[in-house]
Structure 1
Amino acid sequence: MSSAIASGIELCPLAAVPDQGFHSVVAVLDGDAETLVLYRDGDQVRAWLNVCPHAGRALDWAPGQFLKSREGHLVCAVHGASFELEGGTCVAGPCKGDALRAVPLRVQDGMVFLG
């Protein structure tokens, strides 16, 4: 994302993101409201735009409801593309090799913030 992302914007409490699970939030990025997919691994949280690089569709099968494969990948509900959860790279499906657009986050005092 560009430098137009306002850092320090509070997104949600860390407790709202289940450990080894997903949570959805809306944030204003570059002047547009965007839905983000948050994934938590202990005290670390990663975020990506909720947009599959294959066809530009949302990844969730229902608002805020995401599929996780047995292998531990985020799965696009539309065409089945699978994304690893370290960097968001597609490891299987129609956009293999592409990646989700990462959004920088930080966790501080039990809260998740942009930037």
Structure 2
Amino acid sequence: MPAICKDSDLQEGQSRGFELDGHSFFIVRQQGTLYAYRNHCPHLGVNLEWMPDQFLDSDGRLIQCAMHGALFLIESGYCVSGPCTGQSLTPLPCEVRDDDIWIEL
């Protein structure tokens, strides 16, 4: 489980993408909790972001696929709108230790 960034580098309501050892993933902080997912849309298999570190819709309430607009719940990765409705993003375990965010790939 490698450390990927400082906990203080990810503010409330922000998302951030990472590439590590051939894996693409992102983290979102919502209401003080970290959520990590593989950066892979279940519909087309493409990366989700439309710009670097931009994984959320305009309201910052849902994860949005830039390719076709599918919307996913931040808390579970479950798709609530779009061509992959009913499918989910792949979650990754993460935790904060000594102001570092650690991820399990």
In the other structure, the counterpart of 1:91 is 80
Letter in 1 for 2:6: P
- TM-score, normalisation: structure 2: 0.89
- TM-score, normalisation: structure 1: 0.82
Post-superposition CA distance 1:25-58 (Å, at most 9, x none): 1223xxxx11111001254211101111010011
On the 8 A contact 1:48/1:100 being kept in 2, the answer is: yes
Is it true that 1:58 corresponds to 2:47 in the alignment?
Answer: yes
In the TM superposition, residue 16 of structure 1 has moved relative to its aligned partner by 1.6
Report the RMSD for the aligned CA atoms in angstroms. Answer: 1.6
What SS does structure 1 have at the residue aligned with 2:45?
Answer: coil
In the other structure, the counterpart of 1:4 is none
Post-superposition CA distance 1:84-107 (Å, at most 9, x none): 011100000000010001111111
On the 8 A contact 2:13/2:60 being kept in 1, the answer is: no
On the 8 A contact 1:67/1:77 being kept in 2, the answer is: no
In the other structure, the counterpart of 1:13 is 6
Q: For structure 1, list consecutive stretches of 5 or more residues without a partner in the other structure.
A: 1-6
Say how many residue pairs are matched: 104
On the 8 A contact 1:89/1:98 being kept in 2, the answer is: yes
On the 8 A contact 2:8/2:99 being kept in 1, the answer is: yes
Is it true that 1:27 corresponds to 2:44 in the alignment?
Answer: no
How far apart, in 2, do the equivalents of 1:105 and 1:23 lie?
Answer: 14
How far apart, in 2, do the equivalents of 1:108 and 1:41 lie?
Answer: 18
How far apart, in 1, do the equivalents of 2:18 and 2:54 lie?
Answer: 12
Q: For structure 2, list consecutive stretches of 5 or more residues without a partner in the other structure.
A: none
Is it true that 1:103 corresponds to 2:96 in the alignment?
Answer: no
